[in-house]
């Protein structure tokens, strides 16, 4: 591994994603990407007694399916890097009990999907291990209860609000055997904290857009590439409010995003016309995770995409910081993934 510029790691040994999984809840199963998910739960309860236990079941299901899809026995897994939105990241920490391997718990809010993938790729690329699992999760009812109001409260939300995805995505990163059959993790650009003083927890897209634009700008500055290098650049969960802001900020920086397809996982996972309850679109740790490890990786394997840049965004607030009137610090982490061929 070597450092490019000030914020980017280039993985010189080209670790690969041996297998991944995307497990979601019923609302996500009604969206346009349903066919790309590995498992869809029929209910939000998932046969558990609490929402938190349901999210844990979601994470456990995704981690085991990722190992199956990677054709790796659980005994061969060496590291697990994971996180979520719950206090003390209990969903990933409790799910780690079933894996029984060295565990790194990370928190980047909704940017955790790419933060964990970057760290897992660094472990494998540096020779620190042969197999590392990266994963994250979110559940609509756990997040609503912790950060806003219980769903049963029925509070009205503004047009800028987003709908937390019920989903868990995991990926097994392994050493490159040269077969060219698996997606390659090429590089990772780690984001800086951006805080423009916003305090509204129902306007995450606006709060996170500057972080996404800053990390994308850093990626192209560090690598010397241009947006046209990628077939797709997708942000984590800026949704319908934040994505246009990110486009405006990048245009001001002179980044020609018109060279590529620039989209958002929060817009891809739901049908905003039919699923109007999602309001501005999807959010949550599971949003970019299930879209990437389900939909996007499948498109890479089919040859529909050759190079993608996933820019997961996260708002690093807590219920306590919000109640104390603190503004919302945000971050975005980007990972570049290529198809396994000669592209």
Per residue in 224-234, pLDDT (tens digit) is 999 999 999 99
- Judge whether 28 and 269 are in contact, CB under 8 Å: yes
User: Within 10 Å of residue 256's Cβ, how many Cβ atoms?
Assistant: 12
Name which of 177, 197, 176, 194 is nearest 185 in CA terms.
176
Of 76-80, 178-182, 290-294, least confident by mean pLDDT is 178-182
- pLDDT for position 322: 84
Residue 85 has pLDDT above 70, yes or no: yes
Residue 341 has pLDDT above 90, yes or no: no
CA neighbours closer than 13 Å in the CB half-sphere of residue 218:
26
Q: What pLDDT band is residue 323 in, cutting at 50, 70 and 90?
A: confident
Q: What's the pTM?
A: 0.96
Return the sign of the alpha-carbon dihedral for residues 261, 263, 268, 269. positive
Per residue in 122-179, pLDDT (tens digit) is 999 999 999 999 999 999 999 988 887 777 778 889 999 999 999 999 999 999 998 8
Q: Please count the helices (runs of H) and the strands (runs of E) in the chain.
A: 11, 15
User: How far is 333 from 211, CA to CA, in rounded Å?
Assistant: 9
Q: Are strands 184-189 and 8-10 parallel, antiparallel or unpaired?
A: antiparallel
Q: Span 313-326, mean pLDDT?
A: 92
DSSP state of 64: H
DSSP state of 198: -
Average pLDDT over all residues of the chain: 95
The structural domains of the chain, ordered by start, are: 2-174 (3.40.47.40), 184-338 (3.40.47.40)
């Amino acid at each position: 591994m070597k450092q490019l510029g000030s914020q980017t790691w280039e993985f010189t040994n080209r670790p690969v994603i041996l297998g991944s999984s995307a497990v979601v809840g019923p609302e996500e199963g009604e969206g346009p990407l349903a066919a790309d998910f590995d498992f869809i739960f029929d209910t939000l309860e998932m046969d558990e007694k609490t929402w938190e236990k349901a999210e844990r079941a979601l994470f456990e299901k995704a981690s085991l399916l990722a190992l199956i899809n990677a054709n790796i026995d659980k005994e061969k897994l060496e590291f697990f890097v994971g996180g979520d939105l719950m206090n003390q990241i209990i969903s990933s920490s409790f799910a780690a009990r079933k894996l029984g391997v060295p565990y790194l718990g990370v928190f980047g809010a909704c940017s955790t999907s790419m933060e964990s993938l970057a760290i897992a790729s660094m472990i494998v690329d540096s020779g620190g291990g042969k197999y590392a699992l990266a994963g994250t999760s979110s559940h609509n009812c756990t997040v609503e209860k912790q950060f806003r109001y219980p769903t049963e409260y029925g509070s009205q939300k503004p047009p800028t609000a987003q709908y937390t995805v019920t989903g868990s995505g995991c990926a097994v990163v392994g050493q490159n055997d040269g077969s060219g059959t698996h997606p390659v993790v090429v590089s990772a650009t780690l984001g800086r904290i951006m805080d423009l003083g916003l305090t509204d927890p129902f306007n995450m897209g606006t709060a996170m857009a500057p972080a996404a634009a800053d990390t994308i700008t850093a990626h192209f500055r560090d690598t010397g590439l241009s947006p046209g290098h990628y077939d797709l650049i997708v942000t984590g969960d800026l949704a319908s409010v934040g994505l246009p802001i990110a486009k405006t900020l990048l245009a001001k920086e002179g980044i020609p995003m018109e060279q590529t397809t620039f989209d958002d996982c929060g817009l891809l996972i739901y049908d905003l016309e039919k699923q109007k309850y999602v309001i501005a679109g999807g959010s949550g740790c599971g949003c970019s995770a299930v879209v990437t490890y389900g939909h996007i990786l499948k498109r890479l394997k089919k040859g529909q995409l050759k190079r993608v840049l996933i820019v997961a965004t996260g708002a690093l607030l807590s219920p306590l910081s919000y109640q104390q009137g603190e503004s919302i610090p945000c971050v975005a982490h980007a990972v570049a993934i290529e198809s396994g061929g000669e592209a």
